[in-house]
Structure formats: structure tokens, C-alpha cells
Amino acid sequence: MPLIIIADDDELVVEIVRAALENRGHVVGALSDGKPVRNVVELKHPDVVILDCAMDEVSGITALKAIRASSKVYATPVLVLTGRRSVADEEIALAAGADDYLRKPFDPDDLVVRVEALIEKSIEDHARRARLDLDTNEQASGTSH
């Protein structure tokens, strides 16, 4: 079962996200602030992280930058789920490394589709990297398939 971590200080949003994703067989862990996100992501290796931009202590964008700076989990897919509605805010999130951006209020079904698309893309990316590593190792050792 895929593991999704959400960091959002709005308990209602967390419960909506949790219900939508759990109904599709996903396991959901929740944080109420962005401060512990990087450590939790490094410890749990979730399939997707969902971040709110506007949290009290550490913003979602700061947490996102911390994930992208980690050599252990930099490739973890991140969806930013936020009430910030401007195109500029979306551009900031995408430039910081977000894989997707969804504005509140949101359709839970749309959220599930986006999360599952990120999981599928991540699986494909891992398989592609594994093939590249295999090809590189074979070239280095002088063998080929």
C-alpha cells in the first residue's frame, strides 16, 4: 500500500485528504507543521508528500526545499495543496521543486487522481534509473546485453 504524508495545519483538510486516499487503499500519515517534514520523509520514505504552503512554524515551500536538498529523498514526489491562488505562488512552488500544485478548495477525487499519477510517474522514474544504472555498470565492466 502506498504511503502518503500530508503536512497541513488545517485538521479538516487533513481529514478530507485522509478519507479520500484511504478509500483508495493508501496509508496516510499527517503532520500539522512543516518543521518535521524532512526528517519524517527520510525516515518513512513515503510514495508522495502533500504540503500546505501556509503553516505556522515552517512553510510548505521551506519543507519542500529541505526535501529537495536531501540526498536521501530528493526525488520524492511532492504535491502542494494550498489556499494560495495566484499564478505567482504556483510558479514559486514549482520552481522550488513541487511536482504538482492544487488549490483549495479542491475536489477529493481530483486529489486522488493527481496523487496516483505522481506514484505511477515515480515508479516509472525508478525503473528508468535502475535501467540506466544497469547500462552504466555493464559499460564500465565491458559487458553488454
- The model's pTM is 0.89
Tell me which amino acid residue 95 is.
Answer: A
Any idea where the domains of the chain sit in the sequence?
Answer: 3-119
Cell, residue 116:
496516483
Cα 55 from Cα 48, distance rounded (Å): 19
| Residue type at 9 in one-letter notation | D
Alpha-carbon distance of 8 to 13, in angstroms, equals 7
Which of these, 141, 145, 116, lies nearest to 131 by C-alpha position? 145
Question: Which distant-in-sequence residues (6+ apart) come within 8 Å of 3 by Cβ?
Answer: 26, 27, 28, 29, 44, 45, 46, 47
- Bridge partners of 48? 4
Residue 60 and residue 82 in contact, taking contact as beta carbons nearer than 8 Å: yes
pLDDT tens, position by position, 89-129: 999 999 999 999 999 999 999 999 999 999 999 999 888 87
The CATH number for 3-119, chosen from 3.60.150.10, 3.40.50.620, 3.30.565.10, 3.40.50.2300, is 3.40.50.2300
Write out pLDDT tens, residues 45-95. 999 999 999 998 999 999 999 999 999 999 999 999 999 999 999 999 999
Task: Work out the percent of the chain whose per-residue pLDDT is above 90.
Answer: 83
Q: Cell 505567482 appears where?
A: 88
Query: What confidence tens digit (pLDDT) does each residue in 30-47 have?
Result: 999 999 999 999 999 999
